[in-house]
Amino acid sequence: MFKKLAGITSALALTLGLAACGSEETGSSSDSIGEQLDYEIVGIDPGAGIMDLTINEVLPGYGLDKWEVVEGSGSAMTAALKKAYDKEEPIIITGWSPHWKFASFDLKYLEDPKGLYGGAEDVNTIVRQGLKEDHPDAHKLLDQFNWEPEHIETVMNLIQEGNDPADAAAQWVSENEELVSKWTEGVNKASGEELKLLYVAWDDVIASTHVVENVLESVGYEVKLMQVDAGPMWAGIADGSGDAMVGAWLPTTHANYYAEYEGKFEDLGPNLTGTKLGLVVPAYMDIDSIEDLKE
């Protein structure tokens, strides 16, 4: 490109340059990945830990000062991914596993040689102070809730195929009685006591929360789900307005929330282990590392 341009008069080169600047089209494939994407990474809701990590640790850590993370939501992110993927266009998203997108699209994590996204994490169950005294059987069930990535992925895929989250959860529960019976072991039947579960509309947490709702109801609780943002989810458990949540990513992703409210909740430990997060791109893109975003 540079060689060809060098032969053209500078006036013509200037015209070409201006024409390129005025164009609304995304850059041509000879442009750098940053130019092609307008230096935009497709993010999710601003309260998500992955947004905080990407904006405050990863971009500065790799010297990517030209890049921005665009706020949105989990569903807007997957919609943007599908749109780009269908046209084989470049896209970079803030991504995580477990998530159905890896079953639906051929994707890869960009390598993170500095390890700024942290290693594999756990997803913990966090309950309000006093739940154990008020509802010991619900507390016991929540404490015994534990599953594997393949399980949550099955529920997520059912939802992604168009099933209502409650129906997907019910189907998964009916097909996994042996595992579910370990969660309800020693749990006495309730008689319609109300419980409030808080969750954020992240696909993994939608799936896990609906499964836990289903199982709590199967032993006699009346469960209300409240969809909130990440900050209010933590605050709501800390101030007791919510009873429990099952989507606390630790020790890295929700470290700030954990520190902010420590002492005001009870941590029942992991319900799932082996998560991952990072920048995710379609496999057809020819970049492999976050370092490739630097020019």
Binding residues for ligand PBE (CB under 6 A): 44, 48-50, 96, 202, 204-205, 230, 247, 249, 253, 277
Which of 124, 184 has the CB closer to ligand PBE?
Answer: 124
Helix (H, G, I), strand (E, B) or coil at 24: coil
Helix (H, G, I), strand (E, B) or coil at 98: coil
Cα(47)–Cα(195) distance, rounded to whole angstroms?
24
Helix (H) or strand (E) holding 180: helix 177-183
Which of 36, 73 has the CB closer to ligand PBE?
Answer: 73
Is residue 234 within 8 Å of 48, Cβ to Cβ? no
- In angstroms, give the least distance from the CB of 204 to ligand PBE: 6
- In angstroms, give the least distance from the CB of 48 to ligand PBE: 4
Residue 175 burial class via C-beta count within 10 angstroms: exposed 0-12, middle 13-18, buried 19 and up: exposed
Which of 107, 205 has the CB closer to ligand PBE?
Answer: 205
Cα(76)–Cα(45) distance, rounded to whole angstroms?
9
Query: Residue 225 CB: number of other CB atoms within 10 A?
Result: 17
- In angstroms, give the least distance from the CB of 277 to ligand PBE: 5
Please name which of 120, 97, 119, 121 lies closest in space to residue 108, comparing C-alpha atoms.
Answer: 97
- In angstroms, give the least distance from the CB of 170 to ligand PBE: 23
- In angstroms, give the least distance from the CB of 121 to ligand PBE: 9
Which of 204, 213 has the CB closer to ligand PBE?
Answer: 204
And the tokens for 145? 């809730």
- In angstroms, give the least distance from the CB of 236 to ligand PBE: 15
Cα(232)–Cα(239) distance, rounded to whole angstroms?
10
Which of 76, 219 has the CB closer to ligand PBE?
Answer: 76
Which of 190, 207 has the CB closer to ligand PBE?
Answer: 207
